[in-house]
Structure 1
Amino acid sequence: MKVAIAGAGAVGRSIARELVRAGHSVMLLERDTANIDPAAIPDAIWAHADACELSLLESARLQDYDVVIAATGDDKANLVLSLLAKTEFGVRRVVARVNDPGNEWLFGAAWGVDVAVSTPRILASLVEEAVSVGDLVRLMTLRQGQANLVEITLPANTALAGKPIRKLALPRDAALVTILRGGRVIVPQPDDPIEGGDELLFVTSVEVEDELRQAVGR
């Protein structure tokens, strides 16, 4: 897979290293020459370019990339790049970093963003996950805000203990994708029993989150 990353600061470089390690082809776009260091990630393509300049993106052949990641420290730049990537270059998948949580509402389909990643929200979700038992915690927004990855940790004395997964009365637009139990990651099967303390991960539409909470979070 070919991935273009705008912003070669600490965040952009970390993403690039992980993707290169996984065998993907990566290009880093950076406008500040002080951040350009090909020796830091020699297997990546480095381009001195302002990611908001259409002509420079054309020179970088952004249309050849499967994914664009807008990872700069400037929300305005990330939004402009996302819109250009989607509308001008037809990039299939656009992921954008949200620096200011107050701007998160902008990072959606109208600006070409497929997935918005807000570090403050992720950290807050992890804190909630650590202390919340029996309640629904949003971990990530998917499909331009139409669905969420959510987690519900069952209390030790849950009334669902011992029941098979097929007995869960889930709303129509919710799917159980993983059970975390101790150190195990379980792909749920219909006859697998539920245990107290299980962490259940669902993909669900926003509209049925309350129904899911009532069905499982007890």
Structure 2
Amino acid sequence: MRVAIAGAGAVGRSIARELIANGHEILLIDKDPGSIKPERVPDAEWLLADSCELSSLEEARLDRCDVVIAATGDDKVNLVTSLLAKTEFGVPRTVGRVNHPNNEWLFTEAWGVDVNVSTPRIMSALVEEAVTVGDLVRLFTFRQGNANLVELTLPASSPFVGKPAGLIPFPENCALVTILRDGMVYTPDPEQPVEAGDELMFVVPSENEDELQRVLAPRSHGG
């Protein structure tokens, strides 16, 4: 897979290294000469160019890319890059980095963004996930699927502690995808009992989140 990353700062370079390690072909684009440091990611292609300019993206041959990641520290640049990639070059998948929470509402398909990644939201979700028990924490939104990845740490007061996961009446369209227990990751088994302190991760539509929390942790939800 060929991936173009706009923004060759620390974030862009880190993404590039991970993707290269997974066997992907990477192009890093940045308009700042000081950010062009091929020695930092020697296996990537590098281009000194402005990703907001159509001519620069033509030079980058964005039409050959499977994914474009707009990862600069400027939300305006990330929006324009995503829009051009989608509308002018037909890139199948675009990912936009959100730097400021107030701008998150702009990062939608209307601006050519298939997936937005909000650094502030992810950090706040990780903090909440670390300290809350019995409360549903939204970790990620799957925009195209209208569903969310959520986490709930099962409280000791849950009526399903010690009962098999297959007997829990989860809401419609709700899928238990992972159980984290004592530092181990478990694939859900209908016969496996859930325990107090288990971190349960679900994919669930937004409208069913409240019902999911009422089922698993009625006391913390006012039940």
TM-score, normalised via structure 1 length: 0.95
1:24-73, CA deviations, whole angstroms, 9 ceiling, x for partnerless residues? Answer: 11100111111101111110000111111112111211121111110001
Is 1:10 equivalent to 2:14 in the alignment? Answer: no
What does residue 164 of structure 2 align with? 164
TM-align CA RMSD? 1.3
Ranges of 4+ aligned residues in structure 1 off by more than 3 Å:
none
Counterpart residue identity of residue 114, structure 1: D
1:17-166, aligned counterparts within 5 Å? 17-144=17-144, 146-166=146-166
Q: Match for residue 175 of structure 1?
A: 175
Contact 1:153–1:217 (CA under 8 A) maintained in structure 2: no
Per-residue CA distance 1:100-140 (angstroms, 9 max, x = gap): 11001111111111211111111111111111101100111
Task: State the alpha-carbon separation in 1 of the partners of residues 158 and 46 from structure 2.
Answer: 53
Rounded to whole Å, the distance in 2 between the matches of 1:108 and 1:212 is 27
TM-score normalised by structure 2 residue count: 0.93
- Larger CA deviation: 144-153 vs 32-41: 144-153
1:12 maps to a residue whose letter is G
CA deviation string 1:135-158 (max 9, x = no partner) = 100111112482111000001342
How big is the shift at 1:205?
A: 1.1
What secondary structure is seen at the aligned counterpart in 1 of 2:203?
strand
CA contact (8 A) 2:157 2:217 kept: no
Mapping 1:164-203, distance limit 5 Å: 164-203=164-203
Aligned-partner SS, 2:150 = strand
1:207 to 2:207 alignment: yes
Matched to 1:33, the amino acid is P
Q: CA deviation at 1:188?
A: 0.5
* Conserved? CA contact 1:68–1:85, under 8 Å: yes
| Aligned-partner SS, 1:88 | helix
Q: How many residues align?
A: 218
Counterpart contact for 2:6–2:12, Cα < 8 Å: yes
Could you list the runs of 5+ residues in structure 1 that have no partner in the other structure? none
Deviations 1:154-210 (A, max 9, x none): 013422112111112111121111010111101102211111111000111111111
